[in-house]
Amino acid sequence: MSDEEPVDILPTLRKECLTKCPAPKAAYEACIKRIEAKGEGDCEAWYFDMLTCVDHCVAPKILKYTK
């Protein structure tokens, strides 16, 4: 193992890409508020929308950062 751990670009890339997905992010956050008020349910479908949006931004780029 080397002295310095290499740092993966993927989390940073995902974070950057999330800023380009305001609509699904807002929908997911709205869902969180809804289920908190209601006390039940989950937000997986909205979470998936958000992740898919992030993926559309990440997928074409990520392999360029690998050798």
Partner 1 sequence: MATRLRSVLSKHANKAAAAVAATTATSAAAVTLLSDDVVHPLHLPWDHTGLLSSYDCASLRRGFQVYRQVCATCHSLERIHYRELVGVTHSTDELVEMASEVDVVDGPNDEGEMFERPGKLTDPLPSPYANEEAGRAANGGALPPDLSLMVKARHSGQDYLFSLLTGYCDAPAGKPMMPGLYYNPYFPGGAIAMPPPLNDGGVDYEDGTPATISQQAKDVVQFLNWCAEPEADTRKKQAAQYMLVIGFTALMTGYYKRFKWSPYKTRAITYVK
Backbone angles phi, psi at 44, to 5 degrees: -60, -40
Residue 50: which residues within 8 A CB-CB, separation 6 or more? 18, 21, 24, 25, 27, 28
State yes or no: residue 6 binds partner 1 (CB under 8 A): yes
State yes or no: residue 15 binds partner 1 (CB under 8 A): no
Q: Which of 44, 48, 23 is nearest to 35 (CA)?
A: 44
Instruction: Give the x/- contact pattern for partner 1 in 16-35, rule: CB under 8 A.
Output: --------x--xx--xx--x
**Contact footprint for partner 1 (CB under 8 A):** 1-2, 5-10, 24, 27-28, 31-32, 35-36, 40-49, 51-52, 55-56, 59-60, 62-63, 65-67
